[in-house]
Structure 1
């Protein structure tokens, strides 16, 4: 099955000149969504994770069903102030300004093998920050994964772990 047929390109969203890759069309097509989760499970299984982490918010959509399929736990990397209890946070640079992601302080055990997931790998800034945050929390990060990669933005070059993707766009 060609998963590209189930990903809609929306021009000029969220601003003029941007082509947004909308996964809602994939999510609502049961057989395509099932295929995407199955393929991603096979791609990340060799990295021997003991836990999966999803980046807010669309990364949750991929990481949660994968964790269930693989019999693993799932942890959320969220924006500032969204998690209860003690948290560990990391500020990181965006193209214009900064952002912050956080994880609950007790979410991972030291040395736990956590594969991090998001729906899209673009410039790699958020994924790289997520990897750094997981390490700060004590996790080992053997790999990253994304449903879609925009290869022309070279985000993979910012990562120091292998990155599994299902669909790549070159422009």
Structure 2
């Protein structure tokens, strides 16, 4: 794991004061541009999907789409996008959640998840945990089970793990990197 960690960290660029002053943004674009690093990341997430018994992978908009789709393919599973409200056609289930500066809503097609599905949520960063927590609520409202949450990077100083612990109800939270 040390080799993987070093590879991933070497391909993540820090951008100061983006999107606002005082924020040190973790840009994964260089990681995605490096086929060896992107493949190693995909393989690590696919191993988590298999180990947790997932039958579907959910990717959270937007970088979770980029990471989750190849993970689903590599693990031989279906991929389900969880989108911002109003982006999916047809019947959807929505889940509102609070942000530091207001609220937001995410949605999924109701028919994409079934009672026998075990869902692994994949995203790039775990910050405060609000979006991930809302996705777990949405998955359960759709009737599916949560297999776990896998993120590339956990920003430990924002303590999102604490928020997600109760929502996970015993399912694992795995971060490949903790910063």
Q: Please, what TM-score do these two structures have when normalized by structure 1? A: 0.96
- Are positions 1:30 and 2:21 aligned together? no
Shift of 1:96: 1.3
Q: What value does the CA root-mean-square deviation take over the aligned residues?
A: 0.9
Contact 1:44–1:164 (CA<8 Å) still a contact in 2? Answer: no
Shift of 1:115: 0.7
Could you list the per-position Cα deviations for residues 25-79 of structure 1 after superposition, in whole angstroms to 9, with x for gaps in the alignment?
1000111111111112223321100000000010001110000000000001000
1:154 aligned partner: 159
Contact 1:90–1:133 (CA<8 Å) still a contact in 2? Answer: yes
2:100 aligned partner: 95
- Secondary structure (helix, strand or coil) at the match of 2:112 reads coil
Could you list the per-position Cα deviations for residues 88-135 of structure 1 after superposition, in whole angstroms to 9, with x for gaps in the alignment?
001110011100000011011123101111111010010000000111
- Secondary structure (helix, strand or coil) at the match of 2:146 reads coil
- Secondary structure (helix, strand or coil) at the match of 1:143 reads strand
Q: Please, what TM-score do these two structures have when normalized by structure 2? A: 0.92
- Secondary structure (helix, strand or coil) at the match of 2:157 reads helix
1:163 aligned partner: 173
Q: Please, which moves more after superposition, 106-115 or 126-135? A: 106-115
Give ranges in structure 2 of 5+ residues lacking alignment.
none
Give ranges in structure 1 of 5+ residues lacking alignment.
none
Contact 1:79–1:100 (CA<8 Å) still a contact in 2? Answer: yes
Provide the aligned length of Structure 1 versus Structure 2.
169
Return the structure number with greater helix share. Answer: 2
- Secondary structure (helix, strand or coil) at the match of 1:90 reads strand
